[in-house]
Structure 1
């Protein structure tokens, strides 16, 4: 364990991964903007609001311009870094793109409002992250390198540590453990985060889905191990295939050394809003 007495940072994913996991990425911009100012007032480390399947869903299903979406969200939430999920060499598509296309996309995303780029490759092929991470650094934004967690005979703690060191060497500003299937168990998470905090000098973040019911317990053990930031979703848009509730983590840590400092009463207002919005979908 590495002692970490800093307030735990939270990234709320209600505007991207929460509805991608629960509502097939169908949440419309018209249902985001009315709550944007309140979200902006909370004090999240970041709000994940773009990338992943949102680009495709805007065009294919919603009749929206995804570029308009990020511009409007950034304008409505100027105090909170806007975060996107970036599929490495695939950008936001379903095949590899040339390096110059990746670079230009990063440039345009930064200009239009993206502050934090979470860059990943599903196969953990670091070659597919290199161009994107370099492009993010060149535009002065936060480059978050990602390890896509899974379980197999070859996916050992040593491998995850080696990959994280590689990401740090590539210039990543932070490393995210992306547990998209909720497979990371609490005590394995404790060991993994403890090892990473000893091996690298950049912050460690985590995204853990609630699919298996372990996400909150895993978060708590990882917090004990010194993790810097975790993803959550406001309670009315959480759990099942989504994420641990934001309010739960805030309440659990209240009064401890890792107290998030977030106002649960404000979070309750946001939860009430999305509880009504979900009825549309």
Structure 2
């Protein structure tokens, strides 16, 4: 059996370790070399990279994708899509989701990894449908977490339900690095016996499990593993590409990466990392994640934000508060946007000194059911104290949203020059408007 590799350095690797600050000028010189390495896919887009391009780097995320596609001829390009949230932090209507997927594929994406923070299949169905309509591979995702209401059987049932939507492959997304080796082995075995599609694993080494979990996943028959080239690997990022390639080489399984090419890629990023020293996150194992469950990308951003506000001394207290807020919200997996909702609320609780004395609009919308169905019932006291129970919805959240793409396009035609610009604006209005006007 051949184990395939997806390289994450251009998306999740740099998102997890340098707060998504990697510039296109530093990506372009290494693309041809990466394309020669023998990867199955490159994760290059989506997640927080879209927002960060405009917000921090003064780059057009669509142009970044086009430039990467122009250079990468042999390897599939992959993106991460937050289901009905697309790349934003709320649900968007179906017309926007369809147009976004159409343009993503048109600009170069081959594989769209689709997830929902609550594992609510209703929030992924349309994304799967549109991805297949426009000719890309739809990879469904189960978001792994631990709680009193999650176990391997619940994940397998979710995966089977997701497979019925017509996904081409399935990803186990372990964003906080909580999947232990034995559970990883059992989960992959169970999925392989229940599904007839390729299975991929994506984890972070935050808690120190991921290398071992990947090896056990390989032994259980995993088809694809997500890794990051060594200078941007481990810690809150993925296991190391070179290490896992050597591990697979020294087993009964095969892999197709060229180790000498990987060495060149590693040398390039090792030198480049010095340029981003101010953003560099931790490579250390932090076992506190086993309790607080904060995903890798969020840890680096939380530290940065607290540092900027001179509140870094509150970091440990906020980490301890996060599980309490999560329990009140029905044990949602902590992945964008639920990780931001829970993390922000925990921060408010600690900094103000009053639990739920101040709550965000996103927090209220979560209580209203506008992000979907949580794994367990929300603490009813929260609903009673913060909103009214009459505001709570039970249907698919996007069914309550009117189409907005054409209307928005007409409103901003003065500074939006393309459908891609309109999509950028719909997802991030203030950031995109500033960016588009600045770069006329």
> Fold match, TM over 0.5?
yes
1:214 aligns with 2:219: no
With the length of structure 2 as denominator, give the TM-score of the two structures: 0.62
More displaced, 248-257 or 89-98? 248-257
1:117 aligns with 2:112: yes
Identify, as 1 or 2, the structure richer in helix.
2
1:150 pairs with one of 145, 156, 169: 145
Identify, as 1 or 2, the structure richer in strand.
1
Equivalent-residue separation in structure 2 for 1:257 and 1:100 (angstroms): 48
Cα deviation, residue 255, structure 1: 4.6
1:61 pairs with one of 36, 56, 75: 56
2:171 pairs with one of 176, 192, 195: 176
1:10 aligns with 2:1: no
After superposition, the CA RMSD in angstroms is: 0.7
1:128-147 equivalences in 2 (<5 Å): 128-147=123-142
Aligned 8 A contact 2:4 2:256 in 1: no
The corresponding residue for 1:3 is: none
SS in 2 for 1:227: coil
Cα deviation, residue 256, structure 1: 3.1
1:45 pairs with one of 37, 40, 49: 40
2:83 pairs with one of 58, 63, 88: 88
With the length of structure 1 as denominator, give the TM-score of the two structures: 0.97
Q: Deviations over 1:136-186 (max 9, x none)?
A: 010111100000000012211111111111111101000100000000000
Aligned 8 A contact 1:17 1:48 in 2: yes
Q: Deviations over 1:202-243 (max 9, x none)?
A: 111010101001101000011111010010000011011101
2:269 pairs with one of 271, 274, 279: 274
Equivalent-residue separation in structure 2 for 1:279 and 1:41 (angstroms): 25
Cα deviation, residue 72, structure 1: 0.4
1:190 pairs with one of 161, 176, 185: 185
Equivalent-residue separation in structure 2 for 1:167 and 1:66 (angstroms): 29
The corresponding residue for 2:252 is: 257
Gaps of 5+ in 2: 277-440
Equivalent-residue separation in structure 2 for 1:206 and 1:261 (angstroms): 17
Aligned 8 A contact 1:175 1:202 in 2: yes
Aligned 8 A contact 1:42 1:267 in 2: yes
Cα deviation, residue 262, structure 1: 1.3
Cα deviation, residue 259, structure 1: 1.9
Equivalent-residue separation in structure 2 for 1:264 and 1:135 (angstroms): 37
Equivalent-residue separation in structure 2 for 1:248 and 1:179 (angstroms): 19
Aligned 8 A contact 1:11 1:230 in 2: yes
State the structure with more CA Rg. Answer: 2
The corresponding residue for 1:105 is: 100
Equivalent-residue separation in structure 1 for 2:245 and 2:175 (angstroms): 22
Cα deviation, residue 84, structure 1: 0.2
